[in-house]
Structure 1
Amino acid sequence: MESAHTQRRVAKRSSNACSRCRRQKIKCSGLQPCDGCSKRKLTCIFDERDNKILVTQGYISNLQQKIARLEHRQAGVYSPPESNHVDQDANRAVTDSGPEAGVLQYDEPALDPQSGAQGTHYTSPSRAQMESEASDLTNPLTTTPSTFMSASNGRMFYLGTSSNWSFSRRVLSMTHEHVYKAPLPTAALLFDGSAYDLGWDGSRSTPGPGTLVIPSLDYAIYLINAVKFHCGQLFHLSDEEDFMASLHKFYSDSDGRIEKAGLWYIHFLLMLAFGKIFILQKNQGRRPSGADFFVKALQLLPDVSALCREPIVSTEILCCIALYLQSLDFRHSAHNFIGQAMRMALAHGMHTDMPISHLGEHLVQRCRKIWWTVYILDRQMTSLMGLPQSVRDDDVYCQLPSFSGSIQRTAALSMQIKLARIIAEINSTIYGMNGRLNKKFLISTKAALESIAGLADELRQSFPLLLDEPFGGVSRMSAHLHLLYHQCIVLATRPLLFCCLKIRFESPPEIDSLIASRKVRSLLLMCTESSQQILNILDSLQVQGLLETFLPFDLDSLFVSTMVLLVGRVVDPRLLESRSPWLQKSYTMFEEMVSGGNLIADFRRSEVQRLDEMLSDLSTAQSQTLSGSVVLPQSGGLHQTHSRVPLQSTMPSTASLPLCQDILPPHPDIGNDSSYGDDLTAEQIMAVANSIESEDAEWISRAMIENSIWDIE
């Protein structure tokens, strides 16, 4: 009987149940992971808010003093720290020692007057105090002046919020000021339109290139086929049937053929410009191959009033110009031309469900292809500029086009559209008015990650990379989609990484408490994991000779992922094992792009090297103040060996920091050449997203605002 009674007592439901068992109201073993989740191979998450913790009086006093300073700055009124309302998480601290032992003791849980549930009892703040706290959570990107940077020639450039270029400038500027106590010199930095020289000032009256040598028919077809290979799977730049019919007609009519060609001739010159740079991959000084064709096309381009008379071919021409300029890093001009294409398409009703019965099958299918190309390019270029999106998805109801004999291309276009919409969501929430590092910042990040997670399984199943297959080649289309997918994750999570870098520079003890949060470290791990996976994909493309050296997408992926990994190594050394081999792989890919004639890649490589050198100088300076070395635990998201890493003497031991093994399972290291590993699954991303709650968002937001995040004037 004694034994049976004991067994019944053991079988009681655990008071410490995981989130899943609580949600389903089933018995939980209380272990981590619990028996139920282990059997079902699910991620087991325990709500840390239910844990009772012991904190010192000094810890609470520090929190109160920080709140007092913040209220003093925002409201201009100082109140004694003892009367301030402390963080709700701190109110959960309970101890049996009492105040006499130097430990703060809080009241027993009381019934909530609204819900009747048990909750911690504390004195409610006044209305004025609550309004003061609400004002403290103002978005710093909207309440402070926007940030600009001056080039060496005096031209000012706006640092857009979501721009890759802007992110790198902010990181370089902040790091240089922290390491060398001086502003970042801009003479050697790359600014818009400064890498290449087209040899034309933009004036129609300025003489352009001399007599153009139009290639022979067979060579022209060869160049056009190169454009189809490099661009045709991603974007619609021309209607093959109409374009090739006009091509043969052009070469068959030797008498006044240019005068009769009209807009098609401009279109033809643009295709030749693309084909030349794809085939030759070299420059004439700072002029890319085929630049003469491009400049001549711009000189012949009529006024917009004339373009509107032929909106279909005009929109295709504007897309070609925008993509070419974006590839040359003329980002402002490219964004302007894609904006013209967007308005041309809207005015012609391409965003609507165009009636096939009235317009014909061929015309409608062509307009659908044009519209979605404009839509995708506009979303991506606007994000790279860090500007608000111009068209709402609620106003778009164009159907997907059909591709003769290729269902996969329709599915690929659908995935591009979904990723473009996620980019717009990230821009409007995390980087927008309601999400720029205010109390909704992490909640917006959670929503974005949930949207990304919704595409994970579809992407893996429909467009597998097969990077581990010994005889299987990587699909260029699949690689592009996976790169775009991981860039969405990086775009959504790198603001937090930047915040941690700024706090690391300015308040090292505070960053340790910030990244001690499992939820924060999970987001940082996700950012660095996706950056490493980007390098994995690019490395596989390089091995097969498919690394793109002119179109900007591979270079953008390479640049931003390398910058993120360099920053991540400083924010928390446990996020990455060492500077190699991932950094060496990155430099190798930069070298190939430079050797392929990409002048922008040369600048990007030098900027990465500059950041690496500054951070290395910082590590050297820190090592001189060390009191010793500590053994870092293995990170939950990466395969790492236990290594001794020097830390600042002001930093607490990292051995006590929580790991993320219950959020992100081990992920293959980038240095393992035999296996590139799998992408993050939808379940893993959702586990991280679901771990973010409003209490965490408000606490982290206060830390960000107190450290004046993004204010790097």
Structure 2
Amino acid sequence: MTRPKVPDDKRIRTAQACESCKRRKQKCNGLKPCNTCTKRNLACEYLAERGDGHSTTPTATGGHGTIVVSGSSPAAKRRRSSPDNVVSPEEPGTKRPTSENTATFLTASRHASDMTEPRRILGLPTPIPPPQLPAQPDREPGLLEAQSRQSTGSGADEVAEVYTETRMLQDPTGRLLYLGDSATLSYLQFIRMIVESVDGPSQFTMDPSRHRLMESTSTLPPDTRTSLLLPDRKTAGVLMKSYLTNTSGLIEVFDRKAFAQQVDLCYEDPLAAEPTFLCLLYLVFAIGLVLATPVPGSEETVIIQKVQAGQMDRAEMFFRNAKCLCDPTSGFEDADFWSVQALLLMSVYMLARTKRNAAYAYHGMAVRSGFALGLHRQETMVIFPVSIRVVRRNVWRSLYVLDRFLAASLGRPTSISEEDCSAEALVTPERYLGQEKYLVDTNTDPESSGGLNAAVRSCQVIGLILKKVYAQRKISTRLAKDISEQCKGGPQKYHSGLHWRKAMDKTIAPAHGMAVLHVNLLYCHAVILLTRPFFLFLMNRMQQERLGIPRPVIRSGSKMEKFSEACVSASFHTVALVHMGYEGGYLPQRDPFVIHFLFAAALVVQSSEFGALHKRPGYADTYQKALMVMSYCAKTDPQAGRLVYIMTTFHNMIVARAPAGSSLHDPSSLPSTPHDAFSSQPLQPQQMQQQRSQSLSQPQPDLDRSGSANLTGGPSTSSPGIMPTVGAGQAFATPPIPPDAAQAVVSGSDAMGNVPLYPMMRFTE
């Protein structure tokens, strides 16, 4: 319905509209807050132009005490971070690079960036908030009283803009691939910028591979002939068990009992087996072989070593056999349910082989096929028998879990929108049969079934975080508290056997242990994604205060500090959990989920130690645990070897800043890295300049700068941290926990390296 036309003589002109009304193209009366923002309960912000071209952001709007890091709107930030804006269009004679001079353009662009980025970080002016506007005489007194009560009753609602460091990285084929704000590599680059602004160039900040994306390539020659021979029955059983064990709690593609019966029939009469079933079976073999970690000295170890012997990559051969038999991508236009299962398994296999972009592509095809088959709608289930309903529901839930994981780890849009799905599309299929009958009829472990339920719930929270935080590029403590309310109880709410303490039991069954690890790590990662923007905000704020830049004061013990502390606590908890699986002997060496969760948590732990934001006495022990597990994974996973290098160079920066008497200077506390290319000695100035020159001479893209990160660095001082924090060791060691949050807090210290654990906290003031 259109608005009535207002006569020209009655039109009211305002000098400036607020940013919210500008974005929404709404009428604005110019007041603060304006009528539109008051009615819609929106933050009303006005950006006043300054002489240096930067705008100022008010610290409080309508009594909400808004704190914004950057002085530009999200739209402006996106324009600055776009690769199209690397070369300014205002300069005369400037041309966009053509295909012939792309390498030259990228090299020149990166050279200019590496020379100016420290200056940008050091010299970028930080907007100083203007004084509060006086109250307008025509404002309603009731509204002012309500805002006054809100600002004094429960504390200001603190808002932090999400720092963005969108990246375009080059894969081994030369393609530029996009990584968004939620990706761990984007967070890593932002931390590199902070470290370089404080301590200058180093082996960590000048990593020659920082502009490349680790993607494995096939080791088989393209002319390798496929062999459709099945492995012997005992080997097949070991590979199937490995697949079920190492995907427990995250992926459920088959009715296990029916699938086992089909395997028996296949080995009794191989010629009668359906090609579609053989395709799925070979994919199970491929995933099981890649993830296989049998108990040392067992019969399974002998079988796996026999399969892996020789020069041929047997897992890749299994994968090619599956595509040769019945490639789901070639018949994509007439795909059936089996092809959705096959594409889902292909995506998991690609993740395990460090081919994240291929996994993202296969998963997208699986989701589109699932939409075509109606897997996302509850009303389509009634025409199928109960056994088929169960499998269809579990496949869709597995697609959903993988969708949220890929979207969060790559910073890309989700493929599944919950608004387009039925409300019951993600509900456990146990409702069709009852829990006991479901577990018996499908031969499913209760921990695996409960684990998938818990994983779906954590992924719903992750999807909410991606939509309301990273897509909007702003988060408030009120929003964070609302989202955290949905995480009460943890994974153990869905099954008592999923409590994280179960991972400490060294006699636990491997499938049960992996289910505990997967669901608890996914839960903790949701906490890290939610609270990491507050952590980065406070790190940047400490650096600004250290340089004497006037900024609005954040009172000690604020909600923002508590959420930042929760980020560090969840990271410590993640490292401890993974180490439990390593000590238990059931942790695989190539689990893509565990490696991603561990690296994301380790970076937060190291960042907190570097910035002295939330000092933890157990940092050295936690770092060694993380490096030990990552080195264990690096024996077979090249991506883990790359992450070992990053973690070790970052740790050397932390050691260099530590006081002289710190235990970090003890040589025994510096574990060696298995990465042959890494030297533990710091680079000399001549070596640093040589490395910078070599890095600039290579045609590697550096389109990963947004220009929106409002950092202000400075030269290094004798302080071990970015800025001395008042009572950091006491204020954040054991934050107060509300009594009503007991169910949402995981506590414990002795088994976790003397670190208090709060995977999710409810904060009230």
TM bucket (normalised to shorter chain) is 0.5 to 0.7
The answer to whether residue 348 in structure 2 is matched with residue 335 in structure 1 is no
Question: SS where residue 158 of structure 1 aligns?
Answer: strand
Larger RCO (alpha carbons 8 Å, 6+ apart): 2
The answer to whether residue 342 in structure 2 is matched with residue 317 in structure 1 is yes
Q: Is the 8 A contact 2:275 2:326 kept in 1?
A: no
Shift of 1:476: 2.8
TM-score (norm 2): 0.62
Question: SS where residue 470 of structure 2 aligns?
Answer: coil
Q: Is the 8 A contact 2:407 2:413 kept in 1?
A: yes
Shift of 1:503: 4.2
Q: Is the 8 A contact 2:611 2:722 kept in 1?
A: no
2:731 corresponds to which residue? 659
Shift of 1:390: 2.8
The answer to whether residue 50 in structure 2 is matched with residue 72 in structure 1 is yes
The answer to whether residue 460 in structure 2 is matched with residue 421 in structure 1 is yes
Specify whether residues 412 and 672 from structure 1 end up closer, same or farther in structure 2 by C-alpha distance, changes over 3 A only. closer
Partners of 2:55 and 2:643 lie apart in 1 by 47
Give the alignment of 1:210-229 within 5 angstroms.
211=227, 214-229=230-245
2:186 corresponds to which residue? 166
Shift of 1:514: 4.5
Question: SS where residue 686 of structure 1 aligns?
Answer: coil
Q: Is the 8 A contact 1:465 1:478 kept in 2?
A: yes
Shift of 1:669: 10
Shift of 1:577: 1.9
Partners of 2:491 and 2:275 lie apart in 1 by 46
Q: 2:565 aligns with which of 520, 525, 534?
A: 525
Specify whether residues 197 and 148 from structure 1 end up closer, same or farther in structure 2 by C-alpha distance, changes over 3 A only. same
Shift of 1:232: 4.5
Shift of 1:605: 1.0
The answer to whether residue 442 in structure 2 is matched with residue 446 in structure 1 is no
Partner amino acid, structure 1, of 2:256:
E
TM-score (norm 1): 0.66
1:565 corresponds to which residue? 605
Shift of 1:566: 0.4
Give the alignment of 1:139-538 within 5 angstroms.
146-150=166-170, 155-176=175-196, 178-181=198-201, 184-185=205-206, 187-189=208-210, 191-192=212-213, 194-199=215-220, 206-209=222-225, 211=227, 214-253=230-269, 261-277=274-290, 278=292, 280=304, 289-302=314-327, 304=329, 306-307=331-332, 309=334, 311-353=336-378, 358-394=383-419, 395-396=421-422, 397-398=424-425, 399-402=427-430, 403-405=438-440, 409-433=448-472, 436-437=473-474, 440-453=475-488, 455=490, 458=493, 463-466=498-501, 473=508, 475-505=513-543, 508=546, 509=548, 513-514=553-554, 516-538=556-578
Q: Is the 8 A contact 1:189 1:607 kept in 2?
A: no
Specify whether residues 655 and 558 from structure 1 end up closer, same or farther in structure 2 by C-alpha distance, changes over 3 A only. closer
2:652 corresponds to which residue? 613
Partner amino acid, structure 2, of 1:113:
P
Partners of 2:260 and 2:502 lie apart in 1 by 36
Q: Is the 8 A contact 1:269 1:294 kept in 2?
A: yes
What do residues 642-666 of structure 1 show as CA deviations (whole Å, max 9, x unaligned)? xxx9637995672499935663489
The answer to whether residue 622 in structure 2 is matched with residue 554 in structure 1 is no
1:586 corresponds to which residue? 626
- More moved, 499-508 vs 309-318: 499-508
Q: Is the 8 A contact 2:328 2:342 kept in 1?
A: no
Partner amino acid, structure 1, of 2:459:
A
Specify whether residues 290 and 488 from structure 1 end up closer, same or farther in structure 2 by C-alpha distance, changes over 3 A only. same
What do residues 279-316 of structure 1 show as CA deviations (whole Å, max 9, x unaligned)? 54897899865222123333555364635545221111
Shift of 1:504: 4.3
Residues matched between the structures, number: 553
What do residues 389-423 of structure 1 show as CA deviations (whole Å, max 9, x unaligned)? 23222323324223333555443322221111001
Partners of 2:545 and 2:308 lie apart in 1 by 47
2:665 corresponds to which residue? none
Shift of 1:538: 1.4
Partners of 1:649 and 1:192 lie apart in 2 by 30
RMSD: 4.7
The answer to whether residue 647 in structure 2 is matched with residue 598 in structure 1 is no
Partner amino acid, structure 1, of 2:521:
L
Shift of 1:210: 5.1
Question: SS where residue 177 of structure 2 aligns?
Answer: strand
Q: Which runs of 5+ in 2 are unaligned?
A: 1-44, 66-130, 150-158, 294-303, 431-437, 663-716
Shift of 1:518: 2.8
Partners of 2:283 and 2:492 lie apart in 1 by 38
Shift of 1:668: 10
Partners of 1:315 and 1:209 lie apart in 2 by 26
Q: Which runs of 5+ in 1 are unaligned?
A: 1-66, 91-103, 122-136, 201-205, 624-644, 692-713
Q: Is the 8 A contact 2:171 2:213 kept in 1?
A: no
Partner amino acid, structure 2, of 1:229:
T
1:696 corresponds to which residue? none
What do residues 28-75 of structure 1 show as CA deviations (whole Å, max 9, x unaligned)? xxxxxxxxxxxxxxxxxxxxxxxxxxxxxxxxxxxxxxx999741697
- More moved, 290-299 vs 520-529: 290-299
Partners of 2:758 and 2:392 lie apart in 1 by 36
Q: Is the 8 A contact 1:419 1:484 kept in 2?
A: yes
Q: Is the 8 A contact 1:536 1:670 kept in 2?
A: no
Specify whether residues 658 and 75 from structure 1 end up closer, same or farther in structure 2 by C-alpha distance, changes over 3 A only. farther
Partners of 1:656 and 1:290 lie apart in 2 by 50
Shift of 1:555: 1.1
Partners of 1:469 and 1:385 lie apart in 2 by 31
Shift of 1:594: 2.4
Partner amino acid, structure 2, of 1:686:
R
Shift of 1:235: 1.4
Specify whether residues 322 and 287 from structure 1 end up closer, same or farther in structure 2 by C-alpha distance, changes over 3 A only. farther
Question: SS where residue 430 of structure 1 aligns?
Answer: helix
What do residues 636-695 of structure 1 show as CA deviations (whole Å, max 9, x unaligned)? xxxxxxxxx96379956724999356634899999844877885387xx222xx44xxxx
Q: Is the 8 A contact 1:270 1:320 kept in 2?
A: yes
- More moved, 494-503 vs 276-285: 276-285
- More moved, 69-78 vs 153-162: 69-78
Question: SS where residue 501 of structure 2 aligns?
Answer: coil
Partners of 2:722 and 2:381 lie apart in 1 by 70
Partner amino acid, structure 1, of 2:642:
F
Question: SS where residue 194 of structure 1 aligns?
Answer: coil
Question: SS where residue 253 of structure 2 aligns?
Answer: coil
